[in-house]
Amino acid sequence: MSVPPAERWFEDYYVGMVDEFGEVAVTAEEIVAFATRYDPQPMHIGAGELIASGWHTAAMMMRLFVEHYLSQVATLPSPGIDELRWLRPVRPGDRLCVRVTVTEARPSRTKPDRGIIRSLVEVLNQHGDVVMSQRPMNLMRRRSAA
């Protein structure tokens, strides 16, 4: 994407735009710490083969999404996500990145100062396998209304 997050407005997001970014290394210690606090199922706290909680994967994705994709000047609270899927296990030693494809970008019908962006967000491991996907809706201020 040619416009950095610090300067993006609704108009900088367009249907078909694909952005791939970030990398986070997954560690056994972080998997266990997150799971111990938030999702203490056996497979997340070290009983048997250790895999990350899906909610931990979502949290790692969100950090990258905020740092590298969302506008720092125009993002408004999100009304939600659709179709959250955990497709493959995330294990210690995995390195994750995020790919976002904009599927819809339209001005709001009721609030002319903002637009609605829908996208497909995919979390990929170091092998290029999609380990998680979701379809968020984001609200962004329009440059023309600023």
pLDDT tens-place string over residues 106-137: 999 999 999 999 999 999 999 999 999 999 99
Q: Is the pLDDT of residue 145 over 80?
A: no
Q: Are 101 and 51 in contact (CB under 8 A)?
A: no
Give helix 54-68 / helix 28-38 axis angle, nearest 10°.
110
CATH of the domain at 91: 3.10.129.10
What is the count of structural domains for the chain? 1
The residue behind tokens 């170091």 is 126
Range of the domain at 27: 5-145
Provide the mean pLDDT of the chain: 95
What is the reported pLDDT for 146? 53
pTM confidence score: 0.93
What is the reported pLDDT for 125? 98
From its phi and psi, is residue 91 left (phi > 0), alpha (psi between -120 and 50) or beta? beta
